[in-house]
Amino acid sequence: MMVEAKSDQLWKFIDKSAQLRQVAVGYGFTAGPVFSRLGYLLFCDVANQRILKWERGTASVFRNFTNRARGLSFDHQGRLLVAEGGGRVTRTEKSGAITVLAGENVKGPADLVYAIDGSIYFSDPPSSAVFQITPARSGVGGAPPRGEVRLVAEVASPSGVALSPTQQQLYIADQKSELVRVCEVLADGRLSRARDFAPALADGLKTDEAGNVWMATRQGVEIYSSRGEYLGRILTPEPSSNCCWGEGFRGLYVTAGHSVYHLPTLVSGTRTF
């Protein structure tokens, strides 16, 4: 059985007959998947410093020499945002030019999420920090040197970051403490009232419209309710690094080891771009 339910609530979000399917294989280490509104999947091959484009069953190289990219998202204009482990967060413009949104005092970004107000939150494990790139810098019309990159949370070893469906909470995975924490998002984008949410050694995180949190772990993808109740997990043949919602924010893509997998879902994911 590829889905282990600890609560019958899980079957509201995953059909009992759903099958996990391997859709791409043969990469060094996959991470950071994101599905474009234009109908294709992007994911990182971290070991080989490439971003791959998977479309209609065929993979092609989207970008080489990625500066150890491992986290991807889009903004509201469909521009690609990249957490580059080599020490910066970038935005790929429509022209193909790359704008550096964060670089100074940033050591090794791992994951990022775009907020409806134009903010970008990203984790930087070597700095033990989560940063916010403010809308004046990263939002529609925003560009450096406007705005700022500011520290919003100190976390021992942050990895995945995800916004709740209301965008009033930010979830942060801390691999050192093996906890996922949740913070309240203030009106200006700063964070407050951090608390422990779930005991999990998680890498990437995503949320769905029902408020559940989907956590990529070594065993697969663990699912917790918005109240922190463990609902069950999707078992993957390889340790998973991250996940994302597919076309129309339905269905789950999972990057795991040398592969990418897909599982149909009954719930839509949180729309962040």
Which residues have CB under 8 Å from 221's CB, separation 6+?
214, 215, 233, 234, 236, 240, 243, 252, 254
Model confidence pLDDT, tens digit, residues 151-167: 999 999 999 999 999 99
> Locate tokens 């984008």: which residue?
189
Could you tell me what percent of the chain has a pLDDT over 70? 100
Query: 229 or 2, which is more confident?
Result: 229
Q: How many folded domains does the chain comprise?
A: 1
Model confidence pLDDT, tens digit, residues 43-59: 999 999 999 999 999 99
User: Looking at the domain assignment, is residue 94 inside a domain?
Assistant: yes
Evaluate whether 160 touches 124 at the Cβ level (below 8 Å): no
β-pairing, 111-114 vs 230-235, is: unpaired
Mean pLDDT for 26-38 is 97
User: Looking at the domain assignment, is residue 273 inside a domain?
Assistant: no
Range of the domain at 256: 3-268
Question: In the chain, count of helices (H) and strands (E)?
Answer: 1, 25
User: Looking at the domain assignment, is residue 200 inside a domain?
Assistant: yes
Model confidence pLDDT, tens digit, residues 185-200: 999 999 999 999 999 9
User: Looking at the domain assignment, is residue 235 inside a domain?
Assistant: yes
What is the DSSP-derived secondary structure letter of residue 136? H
Model confidence pLDDT, tens digit, residues 104-144: 999 999 999 999 999 999 999 999 999 999 999 998 888 89
Residue-level pLDDT at 5: 95
User: Looking at the domain assignment, is residue 7 inside a domain?
Assistant: yes
Of 23, 72, 7, which Cα lies nearest the Cα of 206?
72
Could you tell me what percent of the chain has a pLDDT over 90? 97
CATH of the domain at 53: 2.120.10.30
Instruction: Please tell me whether residue 254 adopts helix, strand or coil conformation.
Output: strand
